[in-house]
Amino acid sequence: MTIPVADVNAPEVLERQHGIDAYQALQGQLTAVQGVLATKQPDKVLMVGGDCAVSLAPFNYLSGRYGRDLGVVWLDTHPDISTTEESHHLHEMVVSSLLGKGAPGFNAHHPLASDQVILAGVIEEDLRPMDHNVFDYQVQRLTPKQLREPPNALSDWVRGHGFKQVAVHFDLDALSPTAFRSIYPAEPGTDPADFPATVGQLTLPEVANLLTQLDQSAELVGLTVAEYMAWDALNLRQSLSGLSLLE
């Protein structure tokens, strides 16, 4: 089914309400996704594309379906654990909303407990003041180095907690821009060192290995692949858009 997306060129669509930019548009999309999930009642959910907020409704649904048997792996170089006190962007507070402590109007109906979530790929020395809830909510975390040494740290976490199902949010910006080019920090003509947020360090083969281990440790019932930026395709389209042949 198709989820309608609001016209972002309309000024009212981006209006800030209750501390959230584009509140009404995002609420409408969230409600639409919730309606599809409630109707279809899937055992598993796959999401591809969009920003981190695309995991909110599906992971909340999976939490309601599987309860304490569900573990959530948030594979991202940013923890997305802010509130409206630190941010106005829903995509920066998805984890806190899944814990029931985030954005007004977006908090999960089936909140996860803090020990059901692990933040994987976070670079602790680069955490910002807006990320302080990483410590306040006592959510476990693994740095890129800890994911490599040993390489089974995530599967050990799943087995150690006895999770029967697992949902993985894979934000592509967990990857290094030298290893994967279709991410925000790898914009052509820019230096990733000048990117205004933390830049990922993992490689695609490393992540593929982690996902395979998780798939073998529990039933993989949710997977998000988010924040895909196809720079070459976007730039090619924009560069050729003025040609009369393509009008």
Distance separating alpha carbons of residues 138 and 38, to the nearest angstrom: 31
What is the enclosing helix (H) or strand (E) of 27?
A: helix 23-40
- Across the range 106-128, mean pLDDT stands at 95
Whether pTM > 0.85 for this model: the answer is yes
| Cβ–Cβ under 8 Å, residues 112 and 63 | yes
Amino acid 1: pLDDT? 64
Q: Which pair of tokens denotes residue 146?
A: 């800890």
Does the residue 10 lie in any domain?
A: no
Does the residue 95 lie in any domain?
A: yes
The structural domain count of the chain equals: 1
Amino acid 13: pLDDT? 79
Tell me the pLDDT band of 149, cut-offs 50, 70 and 90.
Answer: confident
Does the residue 7 lie in any domain?
A: no
What is the enclosing helix (H) or strand (E) of 224?
A: strand 219-226
Does the residue 22 lie in any domain?
A: no
- Across the range 125-149, mean pLDDT stands at 92
- Across the range 200-220, mean pLDDT stands at 96
Q: Share the mean pLDDT of the chain.
A: 94
- Across the range 199-203, mean pLDDT stands at 96
Distance separating alpha carbons of residues 245 and 247, to the nearest angstrom: 6
Name the residue range of residue 163's domain.
43-235
Is residue 12 scored above 80 in pLDDT? Answer: no
CB neighbour list of residue 151: distance below 8 Å, 6 or more residues apart: 206, 209, 210, 213
User: pLDDT (tens digit, 9 = 90+) per residue, 179-198?
Assistant: 999 999 999 999 999 999 99
75 closest CA partner among 203, 231, 244: 203
| Cβ–Cβ under 8 Å, residues 176 and 154 | no
- Across the range 184-213, mean pLDDT stands at 95
Least confident of 14-18, 35-39, 107-111, 169-173: 14-18
- Across the range 209-237, mean pLDDT stands at 96
Does the residue 70 lie in any domain?
A: yes
Does the residue 134 lie in any domain?
A: yes
Does the residue 74 lie in any domain?
A: yes
Does the residue 14 lie in any domain?
A: no
CB neighbour list of residue 94: distance below 8 Å, 6 or more residues apart: 52, 53, 55, 56, 80, 102, 169
- Across the range 206-221, mean pLDDT stands at 96
**Backbone phi, then psi, for 47, in 5-degree steps?**
-125, 130
CATH number at residue 126: 3.40.800.10
